[in-house]
Amino acid sequence: MRQRTPHPLTLLGAIAAALGAFACTPESRHRVLTFFFDGVPPLHPAEEPGTAGPAARATTATAVAPAPEPPPITWPEHKPTLDKKLCGTCHDRNASFAIVKPLTELCVSCHEPTLREFPRMHGPVAFGDCAVCHVAHASRYKHLLREEAPGLCFRCHDRTPEGARPHPCPRPSDQAPCLTCHDAHGGTDVHFLLDRQGKGPRSSAPPEPPKREGS
């Protein structure tokens, strides 16, 4: 006897009944569908490599939130630079802002009194060569210095000159700013030494001998 093929409506009714019987959870419904049909998409699709899940995406979104902008960095600036109207003091406005005279003469035109500040002057200062230690417009260091001491000083001065004894400093020279003991522009003696308080040039007068009792 020939076996009868179930009518399509009968098959759909059986599937509907099965889905109704297992409709309590999505997992149960998915098992029924995959039993009767091919190509049923997975219940929980696997995420592609390199993609993050919802929690990770939320974390990433939080991590890349724009940070508040830091306050602008303000550096010491030369007075003519601060006042934009004074650029012509040093630059020729009609010649691509070339300087109006040699640099050594240019600095002296405003800072001439510095050349006569002390009886003995530091070489670059005596010749008006301020650019050896200073920059003309702005610097991250005080006094528009090119670098902090002692690094700035060691550009010209050896740490220990050849054939000389080490510097008689209580701390290593790399850790002791030279300006603690010396004035960078000049002084009353050959070493431009400051007084013991570091407040001015050391007096050139020899110290008085100690007085004896009864004298």
The residue to which tokens 């009792």 are assigned: 213
Per-residue pLDDT at 195: 83
Residues in the chain: 215
Query: Distance (Å, rounded) from C-alpha 86 to C-alpha 94?
Result: 14
The strand ranges marked E within the chain are: 120-121, 186-187
Global pTM reads 0.54
Per-residue pLDDT at 184: 93
Query: Distance (Å, rounded) from C-alpha 24 to C-alpha 16?
Result: 14
Q: Is the peptide bond before 26 cis (omega within 30 degrees of 0)?
A: no
Domain chopping of the chain, boundaries: 79-161+168-187
Query: Distance (Å, rounded) from C-alpha 68 to C-alpha 86?
Result: 35
Per-residue pLDDT at 207: 43
Residues of the chain predicted below pLDDT 50? 173-174, 205-212, 214-215
Distance in angstroms between the alpha carbons of the first and the last residue of the chain: 152
